Amino acid sequence: MFKLNLKIALRNLWRNKGITAINVGGLAIALAAFILVMLYFTYETSFDKANPNYKNIYVVGRIYPDFKTNYTPPPLGKAIKQHFPEVEKMGITKGSFFELVLKNGNNTVFTNNFLQADYQAAEILDLKATGGLEKPAGDVERLSYLSKESMKTLFPDKTDNKPEMVTVGSSAMGITSKINGSIINNPHSNVTFDGVSIGNELGQGENYGHNNYTTYLQLKPGTDVANLEEKITRLYRAELLKGETDRETIDKIKGISTFLDPLANQHLKPKAGNDAPYKILLALSVLGVLILIIACVNFTNLSIAQATKRAKEVGVKKVMGAFRFQLAIQFLTEILMQCFAATVLALILAELVLPGFNNLFLLKLSIWQVDNGLVWQLPLILFLITFIAGIYPAMVLSGFKPALVLKGNFATSKQSYWLRNGLLVFQFSIAVIFIIGLFIINAQLKYMRSQDLGFKAEQVVYIKNIAYFNNPDKFEPVREKILKIPGIKSATVATGIPNGDANGTNTYTSNGIQASINYLDVDFDYFETLDIKLKAGRFFSKAFKTDTANSAVINESAAAKYGLRNPIGQTITGCNTNYKIVGVIKDFKDRGFENATQPTIYAIKDPCGNPKMEIMLKIEENKMADALAALKAQWPEINKLDGENFRYAFLDELYGRLFKKQEQLQSVFFAAAVLTIFIALLGLYAFAKYITNGRLKEIAVRKILGATDVQLLKLINSSFFTLVVIANIISWPVAYIVTNMWLKTFAYRIDFPVLPFVTTTLITLLLTIVTVSIQAKKAVNANPVDALKYE
């Protein structure tokens, strides 16, 4: 019986090879997209899962009225470990903020992130050194490790695990350091580094004002995390209140709290960070599922459309004694065969597309890795889509009544009319949502690329540097040498560059208002180099000696924050310094379009600031190449600490990386829109063929009675035209809600447009008319005699 059913299935599939090809092809394309989404989803949601204590590790964060941060002071972690027994381990880390140059002879590596960690943090984060992680001796010793790749670059012939000496920075400076070995840098972890310096304790002697460490807690299984958060908050407030007598400060401290953020959250949706990666992953996952659902709907619709061709077969089998269960199994087996063929084809398509996908998301995913989840996901998906796409057609086919179908009356039955049309409307509704989404994403990206940023990143070169220039007098000789090079218009140094990174935050008081605002420590010519616009007052100038002592420039947001109508000459106090406001600049989008411009104070002297290391140069466009070549040649003389290690980047390229996630989303929506409309049109084409073939006699009679080709095409198109209009109307509210939610993630965005809705409707109607007309034209041009000669 099985052999007979298999033969019938294969013959039926071959007889209807056009519909079979559309079914298998459409499903294969959707499955290929879904496979890529599964690979990406599995990769993104499995960061740090290799850590044996993954579920019990938390990051300690602080919540202020104006912001959240993962940065904490060293004493807080010690106090937590001392007071709360549910904390099994506590460790702290501190990242580096500059690029470190390491050399061994002619071999050089540049480490962008040399992580400092105490030994407990190394254990919590499961850091593994070659030959085993050693515990430093005493409180002073630091053990330094480099990644395997860096060690291989510096010591290509090294075969043992013995420590090695390297030169730090310029060879002329003669600074050396010991590297104890290599350490495994897991690329699938939130904790990334080029090298690690491990000590028994970090932050000795630092108090609660040094908030530049990350504190990790490893909790005992079963710990009530919410209760522990409350206890840590009370502890932190108590520590800050020690010795405090100022009522205003006491009230402010009472408004501060802490939180515990699971290690699992750090990659996609940290409580004190950007959750854009999570939204991208969620959007991509939903798109993948919807594309697969559309393909399943397409499969179901075409299977139901083919039902009449199998009606007499079912009738005969039932008369011969076949049970409905047996027939359902037979039809499900046929569908399983098609789904299996689609899965094989999908794997081939996914393998072909994967390089482009990896390039888009900067990944190295592979279909043939055992740990990527496809081994169990694909069989599960195969049987799931077989069930979803096949269960209803199988029930419909196996449920035909023999007496009805053998009389030939089933062809005129309306049993599946509403379902077929409903599924077609569903397909086009999803396609319309994707197309509208694509138009709106394109509009927002066009807006972001064309809007005035408030500063000019073009022709600004960022010079990577490891020297500190906190004192303007120290940078002045460097500036003078740089400006002697033809083409260089200005030079400055600051604690940060406008590339999307957050600035430091501190508490300042002005106009009787105390608030936490951002700060950025700069030097002369900072605003001029970036062409930032002045709203009132003046920029920093060497003509005013007080500018290097206690002068400050604030932005519009800071002036509004403190309610300063006439800020020039007013005082703003912070970090034990009374700053005199000498200028107000217009807000500029230093953190891109997703984050609003923060109230910021700019000063040349800041006792609480960070090292000024970020050198920026404004260079004439037509002299860029010559100026960079001269800088490289003269850099050992200009900046001896860097010496021969001249590195640079263009600021506009660094800022452009802020658009990367949205450009990825744009590419994803483009692919999704193309796939969904393509699959929907495949189904529409096959469905139109079925409907047209069922109306051949009607078309023949109408032609004989004088109907023109245009009238017949209009007749056939009318029902599909109506369905597509309904699909557009249904999808508009959903598209509006989804795209509006996405637009609200931007602080600076376009007004919600209406044109994409109209354009999408016209596009889908045009594609529908063309697709249906191509199929209908064959029936319209056919000889009426061929359709009526048997009547």
More confident residue, 493 or 138: 493
Residue 7's CB is within 10 A of a number of other CB atoms, namely 10
Tokens of 625: 């190449």
Q: Strands 600-603 and 513-521, how do they pair?
A: parallel
Distance, CA of 506 to CA of 490 (rounded, Å)? 29
**H-helix or E-strand spanning residue 176:** strand 176-179
Distance, CA of 575 to CA of 11 (rounded, Å)? 84
Instruction: List the 100-104 sheet strands across, edge first.
Output: 107-111, 100-104, 164-168, 176-179
* Phi, psi values for residue 129, rounded to 5°: -95, 150
In sequence order, what are the beta bridge partners of 181?
145
Q: Is 160 exposed, middle or buried (0-12, 13-18, 19+ CB in 10 A)?
A: exposed
More confident residue, 28 or 616: 616
pLDDT at 690 over 80: no
pLDDT at 16 over 50: yes
CA dihedral of residues 541, 544, 547, 548 (deg, nearest 10): 100
Each domain of the chain, given as residue ranges in start order, spans: 1-45+274-415, 54-265, 418-451+659-791, 466-641
Q: Give the confidence band of 319 by pLDDT, cuts at 50, 70, 90.
A: low
Query: DSSP 3-state assignment of 203?
Result: coil
Cα torsion 773, 778, 781, 786: sign: negative
More confident residue, 410 or 349: 349
Radius of gyration of the chain from its Cα atoms, rounded to whole angstroms: 34
Give the pLDDT confidence of 575-586 residue by residue, as tens digits. Answer: 889 999 999 999
DSSP 349-410: HHHHHHHHHHHHHT----TT-GGGSHHHHHHHHHHHHHHHHHHHHHHHHHT--HHHHHTT-G
Q: What distances in angstroms separate CA 217 from CA 22, 128, 312, 330, 337, one per listed residue?
A: 55, 19, 70, 57, 52
pLDDT of residue 82: 93
pLDDT of residue 570: 95
- Section 596-604 average pLDDT: 94
Tokens of 263: 């290690």
pLDDT at 414 over 70: no
Distance, CA of 245 to CA of 458 (rounded, Å)? 50
pLDDT at 39 over 80: yes
Distance, CA of 192 to CA of 209 (rounded, Å)? 26
Amino acid letter for position 77: G
- Section 551-558 average pLDDT: 96
pLDDT of residue 92: 95
Give the pLDDT confidence of 632-645 residue by residue, as tens digits. Answer: 999 988 988 777 77
Taking alpha carbons only, the member of 395, 396, 393 closest to residue 339 is 393
Taking alpha carbons only, the member of 579, 639, 574, 635 closest to residue 608 is 574
Distance, CA of 19 to CA of 687 (rounded, Å)? 9
Distance, CA of 99 to CA of 649 (rounded, Å)? 13
Give the pLDDT confidence of 351-398 residue by residue, as tens digits. Answer: 999 998 888 888 888 888 766 677 777 888 888 888 877 776 777 666
* Phi, psi values for residue 182, rounded to 5°: -105, 155
Give the pLDDT confidence of 769-779 residue by residue, as tens digits. Answer: 888 888 777 77
- Section 534-558 average pLDDT: 94
pLDDT of residue 777: 79
Q: Give the confidence band of 412 by pLDDT, cuts at 50, 70, 90.
A: very low
Q: What distances in angstroms separate CA 339 from CA 343, 381, 388, 389, 397, one per listed residue?
A: 6, 10, 11, 9, 18
**H-helix or E-strand spanning residue 88:** strand 87-94
Query: Is there a contact between 551 and 580 (Cβ–Cβ < 8 Å)?
Result: yes
Q: Give the confidence band of 305 by pLDDT, cuts at 50, 70, 90.
A: low
Give the pLDDT confidence of 85-116 residue by residue, as tens digits. Answer: 999 999 999 987 777 888 888 888 888 888 99
In sequence order, what are the beta bridge partners of 600?
518
More confident residue, 149 or 631: 631
Taking alpha carbons only, the member of 624, 625, 648, 623 closest to residue 635 is 648
pLDDT at 409 over 60: no
Give the pLDDT confidence of 123-144 residue by residue, as tens digits. Answer: 999 998 887 788 888 777 788 8
pLDDT at 710 over 90: no
- Section 329-345 average pLDDT: 82
Query: Is there a contact between 626 and 487 (Cβ–Cβ < 8 Å)?
Result: yes
The distance in angstroms from the start CA to the end CA of the chain is 38
Distance, CA of 717 to CA of 719 (rounded, Å)? 6
State the average pLDDT for the chain.
85
Least confident among 375-379, 459-463, 540-544: 375-379
Tokens of 569: 């000459």
Distance, CA of 517 to CA of 571 (rounded, Å)? 15
More confident residue, 399 or 676: 676
Distance, CA of 743 to CA of 343 (rounded, Å)? 36
- Section 278-304 average pLDDT: 80
Query: Is there a contact between 631 and 247 (Cβ–Cβ < 8 Å)?
Result: no
- Sole residue written with tokens 């490790």: 145
Percent of the chain clearing pLDDT 70 (strictly above):
91
More confident residue, 57 or 361: 57
Residue 744's CB is within 10 A of a number of other CB atoms, namely 9
Query: DSSP 3-state assignment of 69?
Result: strand
Query: Is there a contact between 362 and 319 (Cβ–Cβ < 8 Å)?
Result: no
Distance, CA of 426 to CA of 296 (rounded, Å)? 11
Query: Is there a contact between 528 and 456 (Cβ–Cβ < 8 Å)?
Result: no
pLDDT at 415 over 70: no
* Phi, psi values for residue 13, rounded to 5°: -65, -40
Cα torsion 602, 604, 608, 609: sign: positive
Crossing angle, helix 417-450 and helix 660-694, to 10 degrees?
Answer: 150
Distance, CA of 272 to CA of 257 (rounded, Å)? 13
Three-state SS for 509-557 is: EECCEEEEEEEEECCCCHHHHCCCCEEEECCCCCCCHHHHCCEEEEEHH
- Section 552-568 average pLDDT: 95
Q: Which residues contact 422 (CB under 8 A, 6 or more apart)?
A: none
- Section 310-336 average pLDDT: 71
